[in-house]
Amino acid sequence: MPPFHDTPRTKPVKLYMTPGSCSTGIHILLEELELVFEAHLVNLLAGDQHTPEYLALNPKASIPILVCDNGRILSEFQAIAYWLARSYPKAKFLPGDPDGDAQVIELMDYVVGTVHGQGFARIFTTDKFATHAADVNAVKAQGLDIVKRAFAIINDSLPAQGYAFGYFTIADAALFYVEFWADKIGITLSDNSLKHYRLMLTRQAVRRVLMEEGYRLG
């Protein structure tokens, strides 16, 4: 039985995911926990998220979603990460005190809501924000500006060495996936963010996830 299991789990959880997306962060958490889970690939470009079958699970048509072992369906990154942290407290994905937990959630929410939801969303899904074709470049530029400014704020909050809060938490999994995106599209990370990204790339769970999702590691 994996070391972080506190109570017997009768059914594996199910992760609906898209390789290289925000679901990579949840995939990492599942690997860190060494959980046996069912992976269901959602091809966003093919429109899998809009099929009746998927909408029956998640009418928001978003990824990731996690079907918990008790049958509950969670559909937001922050909610899924929090559920995993609370369900497997021995993993210490959260500090365990109100102030510490709030700080971890604060960073995670900023990453998901601002860096991803306001910044990268404009870069990757420009058509959702550009009313006219003439607006496309301006929308992408706005997204890039949001990402760079947010990363500057995050960089200043990170320690010179180590994880965001001294040890691996759910916030690190969230931060990694946007750092990964930045690396892939050529956005230069500042010193602390780059050190964090490189540190994350040394974790065995992260390396396994990237290989499983089809990425070659240097």
- Contacting residues for 124 by C-beta, under 8 A, at least 6 apart: none
Q: What's the average model confidence in pLDDT over 3-32?
A: 85
pLDDT digits (tens, 9 = 90+) for 165-177: 999 999 999 999 9
Q: Is the pLDDT of residue 5 over 70?
A: no
Give the per-residue pLDDT at 101: 98
pLDDT digits (tens, 9 = 90+) for 29-74: 999 999 999 999 999 999 999 999 999 999 999 999 999 999 999 9
Q: Is the pLDDT of residue 4 over 70?
A: no
Walk me through the domains of the chain, giving residue ranges and CATH numbers. Answer: 13-91 (3.40.30.10), 98-202 (1.20.1050.10)
Q: Is the pLDDT of residue 194 over 60?
A: yes
Tell me which residues are annotated as active site: 21
Is the CB of residue 37 less than 8 Å from the CB of residue 12? yes
